Amino acid sequence: MNIKNYITRFGSLHQLPIGLESYLQIALKAIRFKKRQKISLAIPPELFLGFLERGTLRLYQIDPETHQEHTLEFLRSGHFLPPSLEFGIPDGKSLYLQALEDCELLAISEQHFRYLAKIFEECTLIYQLLSNQHLMRQFQHNQQLKTLSAKERLALFNKEYPGFFAFVSTTHISSFLGIHRNTLNFLRNGKAPKA
């Protein structure tokens, strides 16, 4: 459990108030997920201010009518999870995390999360900055889905997520890229899809 790395990343958002580092060293707990383990966020687990120390997670939702999984985001080690209050679950859709490989997260409980904001006023700003980062990533991804061709989205994905095809299902990647799995396979093989 590398608490120092967590505190460095947390402090990069905003200068940490005196005493917060000591508090986090006591409150942070390591949480492990096995490869392929799925976590329902309908009843959120204790992943407040969660930081992915090791592994890769997939954030996805399941459409209740079609039962299709829609990949929303891939979360890599060294990144904070989207703040639990910002998941914004649409009506009738369920949100999940899936470990794509063995993962270890550092997080605090909801009780500590609420207590931190009471004793360290700066935490409210830090929570907002984390939310803003997540919302900006979602906004940029949605813009890419609307403005870039499938080929351009794949090129950008390969740049941002090198090596993902080695351990992530093409179904999950095609869902994230907003293209059909067959189209993705054609593009990866250097062929143009049939019209």
Judge whether 83 and 127 are in contact, CB under 8 Å: yes
What pLDDT was estimated at residue 193? 54
What pLDDT was estimated at residue 67? 87
Let me know if 45 is exposed, middle or buried by CB neighbors in 10 A (0-12, 13-18, 19+). middle
105 residue type, one letter: L
Q: How far is CA 195 from the centre of its chain?
A: 34
pLDDT score of 127 more than 90: no
Q: Which two tokens stand for residue 3?
A: 């608490």
Q: Rounded to an integer, what distance in angstroms lies between the CA atom of residue 68 and that of residue 174?
A: 13
pTM of the model: 0.85
pLDDT band at 191 (very low <50, low <70, confident <90, very high): low
Q: Which residues, listed in sequence order, are joined to residue 148 by a DSSP beta bridge?
A: none
Superfamily covering domain 3-137: Jelly Rolls (2.60.120.10)
Instruction: Give mean pLDDT, residues 21-41.
Output: 91
